[in-house]
Amino acid sequence: MQEWTGFMAAMRTGGWIMYPLSVLGILALTIIIERAYVFARFARAPTRPFPRGASVDNESSQGFDGLAPHNAFRRMAAPWLAESGSPLWLREADAQAIASQIERDMGRGLWLLETIVTAAPLLGLLGTIVGMMKSFQLFGGNGLVDPGGVTGGVAQSLVATAIGLIVAVFALFAFNYFSRRLERLMDELELFANARLNELRLRHEARGER
């Protein structure tokens, strides 16, 4: 209870700049929770992601049981199903288009997280300037008019800077994590597609096809 009271007191001390900073903090937290759910649900690899000699005749033989319908690996497997009569070059083009769409879907909102990393410290700096201006205004021609007001202005500037940095650091770690997670997912999907392509090429060569 004391921690919450202290937090609310700090928010009041920070002045009006705390409202946009709070919005950025809530927005960053929302994006982080939503992206964590998306990666946990739709970026899971199949139980046998790159089996040698495994059948590509259907999804169940590739270990997709239990994965979400829009799972990234499930989507990437669609062009490589054996019942498709498309030539290999067309399957490769379809796989590239699907990979681009998956990257867009999984990376949605990360640009906003990156923007928060930059915007939060700048808002904190703006709060610092406003607080210091408030303090300097209390110096009159006859010297210091209101010592309590000066310390309040300094406190406002420090709180705004601290909150801005906290939001930025929080968003930065999350952005770097999800960016690295997306990069690793795209590498895994490329390996997955190459394994399916090589298997189909071997089958076609065995039958004398192209």
Which pLDDT tens digit goes with each residue over 170-210?
999 999 999 999 999 999 999 988 888 888 888 767 766 55
Q: Distance (Å, rounded) from C-alpha 168 to C-alpha 152?
A: 24
Q: Distance (Å, rounded) from C-alpha 153 to C-alpha 150?
A: 5
Is residue 94 assigned to a domain? yes
For 144, the 3-state DSSP assignment is strand
The burial class, CB within 10 Å (0-12 / 13-18 / 19+), for 35 is buried
Is residue 10 assigned to a domain? no
Is residue 13 assigned to a domain? no
**Largest distance between two CA atoms of the chain:** 99
Indicate the Cα dihedral angle 177, 179, 183, 186, nearest 10°: 110
Is residue 191 assigned to a domain? yes
Per-residue tokens: 128: 């610092």
Is residue 7 assigned to a domain? no
**pLDDT recorded at residue 150:** 46
Is residue 200 assigned to a domain? yes
pLDDT exceeding 70 applies to what percent of the chain? Answer: 68
- What residue type is assigned to position 118 of the chain? T
Is residue 38 assigned to a domain? yes
How many domains, in total, are found in the chain? 1
Between 34-38, 126-130, 175-179, the lowest mean confidence (pLDDT) is in 126-130
- Could you tell me the residue range of the domain that residue 39 belongs to? 18-44+69-206
* Residue that has been written with the tokens 């681009």 in this structure: 100
**pLDDT recorded at residue 144:** 47
> Could you tell me if 192 and 47 are in contact, meaning their C-beta atoms sit under 8 angstroms apart?
no
For 139, the 3-state DSSP assignment is strand
